[in-house]
Amino acid sequence: MKYAFVALLLIMAALSHSQTLTLELDGERGQIDRDLGLIVAHLENLDEYNDLSDYTEIVVGLGAETYSFDVLPSGLTYTQGYVVRADTDNYTLYFTELPLMAIQTREDIVDEPKVLGTLTYADDSLQLTTYIGVELRGGSTLTAPKKTLDIEIWQDTLGEESLDVSFGDLRSDDDWVLDALYNEPLRMRSFFAHQLWVDMHTLYYQDEEPKAKSGAEVRYVELFLNGHYNGIYALSEQLDRKQMKLKSYKEGVRGELYKGRTWGAPTYGQPPSFNNASREWAGYEMKYPKENQATDWESVFDFVNFVKNSSDEEFVEQIWSAFDYDNHLDYFIFLNVLRATDNTGKNIYLAKYNSDEPYFNVPWDLDGCFGSVWNGERENITDDILSNGLTNRVIELNPNNYETTISARWFDYREGLLSTDHLLTNFQERFDYFTNYKIYERESLVFPNYAFDGESLTYMFDWVQNRMDYLDTYFRQLSSTEETREDHTLLLYPNPVNGSIHLKNHKDFLNKDFQIINESGQVFIKGKILSDTISIETLSLGVYVLVLENGQSRFVVE
């Protein structure tokens, strides 16, 4: 009897110290992929659960089901996956610090029109469930297994009333892009590039429009699509009149916005005649004014025609009243730091704040950069200069002492925002975050198209270091006289090229022998440097190398 009483006391003591922690994940804060056996949860203040020694059981509630931990953890962290069980089914539970999104649709998502769906979203400050219209977005990326999406937030199932929402510190709006990042080996190039442009460039009318942005800002999210985990996306603001605060249409055209979609007028080729019955012209799509307001191509036609066909004297005198000087300086530097070959014209917006004011550029679709191209393949070219027809004339004619100014700006940037250490530190920190917080691990479960490993980061590090060294040489020579140049690196532009190569420092190589070969070493053109141009009209599309004395420069013919 005595021993039974003692045993009862021990049981009662144990029960009095037994505690169960129940983590309730509502419809926004927890998502499940049953096929993968995967649960991802965004739990506020996860650090409050770093010591679970007082608990004897932890239960996760998700929907109508509860899940228990196979092994009781000492604490919860973003850096570990946990095995949890519901009846006989095992799942791996991850906690994410990133915003968690889920989209559910009854119809297949197509490339127009938008179909009805529901969106749930959760971060540390916002929980949201709403109707949306969703469609596919993109060109070549439409064939990728991970799709970029365009979503519009609706207040009703018909989309008759939209709803403005602010995600984090992004703008308040109803229209958003979810960039799939599928063709990016480390899922960070375009994200960093978009933010770099916003950090680099300030719109010339910023004081007048303090809320205007020079580009689209982005933030990472993790997405579930129709019950399946779809990995990380870049949630992006739209590039539109609202983003840049262009003057609205009012009794006539004021602000203008054109989206470069193909080569032609966006790279300042010979402009064809225009037809105001169409919203497209020579590679541009008119985004503003809207179709119900006006369609008039005359202004942008006149500008492209001026760049292409004005006399040298007219160009030097008028270019910086027609195009914003600071924007051209920053964009040329930005383009070449990234070596974003598609953004010389095709992936570019041309904008005007108000009538009788200068045009300026805004980049978009920055997935092909920092040593890779649009399809994710590596292009290890670091010793060339990207330009277009406008930049070619600026470099050739040097209006307002452009060369000295851009050289000084380059070396100012190199002291801070574009220092090699700053660039590499940003990439390293993002890589470490994705690795340690198991984001690459989750991404690989559904899209193992890249290794997401240290070798990929090392390649990008090497590329950035070589690229910045080359650009240091290039911009140093721009501000030097022929007599003071100590090294004689061949500087060619534009790149990509069509028709002729231009040699910036051709006088250093007059009467020197050159060869143009392909990457297999086959010689296609040879001769002597006699002027500042070399005709390449006989070359087919592809990658070539200009070999001169002991140096060489790669270029692309397209």
- Give the pLDDT score at 199: 96
The tokens of 95 are what? 């906690």
Q: Could you write out the DSSP letters of every residue in 344-388?
A: GTTTEEEEESSTTS-EEEEE----S-TTB-TTS-B----S-----
Find out whether 367 and 338 touch, Cβ atoms under 8 Å: no
Q: How far is CA 101 from the centre of its chain?
A: 20
Instruction: For tokens 């497209």, name the residue.
Output: 280
pLDDT tens for 11-46 read 444 444 569 999 999 878 999 999 999 999 999 889
C-alpha distances (whole Å) from 550 to each of 212, 489, 509, 546 are 49, 10, 12, 11
Q: What single-letter amino acid sits at 161?
A: E
Find out whether 544 and 555 touch, Cβ atoms under 8 Å: yes
- Give the pLDDT score at 55: 93
Instruction: For tokens 């609706």, name the residue.
Output: 154
Find out whether 73 and 58 touch, Cβ atoms under 8 Å: yes
Q: Which 3-state string (H, E, C) describes 432-489? A: HHHHHCCHHHHHHHHCCCCCCCHHHHHHHHHHHHHHHHHHHHHHHHHCCCCCCCCCCC
Q: How many CB atoms lie within 10 A of CB 299?
A: 14
**Helices 402-414, 325-338: crossing angle, 10 deg rounding:** 50
* Strand 20-25 to 513-518 pairing: unpaired
Of 217, 207, 124, 203, the residue nearest 173 (C-alpha): 217
CA 467 – CA 339 distance, rounded (Å): 9
Instruction: For tokens 């080729």, name the residue.
Output: 269
Find out whether 281 and 266 touch, Cβ atoms under 8 Å: no
Instruction: Give me the residues of the chain with pLDDT under 50, please.
Output: 1-3, 5-16, 481-487
Please give the backbone phi and psi of residue 469, each rounded to the nearest 5 degrees, phi first. -60, -45
Report CA torsion sign: 80, 81, 86, 88: negative
Please give the backbone phi and psi of residue 222, each rounded to the nearest 5 degrees, phi first. -110, 135
Q: What single-letter amino acid sits at 277?
A: A
Q: What single-letter amino acid sits at 316?
A: V
Q: How many residues does the chain have?
A: 558
Instruction: For tokens 């009662």, name the residue.
Output: 12
260-475, CATH topology level: 1.10.1070
Helical (H) or strand (E) element with 343 = none
Q: How far is CA 13 from the centre of its chain?
A: 59
Find out whether 226 and 104 touch, Cβ atoms under 8 Å: yes
CA 334 – CA 201 distance, rounded (Å): 9
CATH architecture assigned to 488-557: Sandwich (2.60)
The 8-class DSSP code of residue 310 comes to S
Q: How many CB atoms lie within 10 A of CB 20?
A: 10
Contacts of 208 (CB under 8 A, 6+ apart): none
CA 172 – CA 164 distance, rounded (Å): 6
Q: What are the residue ranges spanned by the domains of the chain?
A: 2-95, 100-180+210-236, 260-475, 488-557
- Give the pLDDT score at 518: 79
Please give the backbone phi and psi of residue 342, each rounded to the nearest 5 degrees, phi first. -75, -15
Burial of 70 (0-12, 13-18, 19+ CB in 10 A): exposed
Q: What residues form DSSP beta bridges with 152? A: 133, 175
Of 419, 422, 433, the residue nearest 472 (C-alpha): 419
Q: Could you write out the DSSP letters of every residue in 108-148?
A: PP-SSS-EEEEEEEE-SS-EEEEEEEEEEE-SGGGGSSS-E
For residue 399, say if its preceding peptide bond is cis, omega within 30 degrees of 0.
Answer: no
The pTM (predicted TM-score) of the whole model is: 0.84
Measured torsion, CA atoms of residues 470, 534, 518, 344, in degrees rounded to the nearest 10: 50
CA 491 – CA 473 distance, rounded (Å): 9
- Give the pLDDT score at 6: 40
**Helices 325-338, 454-478: crossing angle, 10 deg rounding:** 140
